[in-house]
Amino acid sequence: MESRKCAIGISLLIISLGIAWLLNSMGIIPRVDWIWVAGLGVSGLLLLTLGGLERFNFVVGITLIVASILSVLRQTGVLETRIEAPVLFTTVGVLMLLAYILKIPGTKNESNTHPQ
């Protein structure tokens, strides 16, 4: 099962980098710091695929992916920092709420110390 998760993570990494490269080559999204954007997005994808479905991985993984998208929008002039930061902050709250509503399990340590 672990090798399957690793293969999925690597596949998603290759797809993400390929799409970023294509968009950059076509001039659709020029002047973007791809190291930062890819680092955020790939970290989020890997956390979700390799870390298992736990509340922490759900919230942090999706937050990193949203931060990556917002970073591209800011760097291309579509979004200002004064909008990016509150949207990201609100995203964390919404994801935390969704994690509880969808009854996504907590970590093993969290499950042992707090009844659900």
Distance of alpha carbon 44 from alpha carbon 6, whole angstroms: 14
For 56-115, how does the pLDDT look when each residue is reduced to its tens digit (9 = 90+)? 999 999 999 999 999 989 988 899 999 999 999 999 999 999 999 999 888 766 555 555
For 6-28, how does the pLDDT look when each residue is reduced to its tens digit (9 = 90+)? 777 778 778 877 887 788 788 87
Angle at 90 between CA 86 and CA 92, to 5 degrees: 120
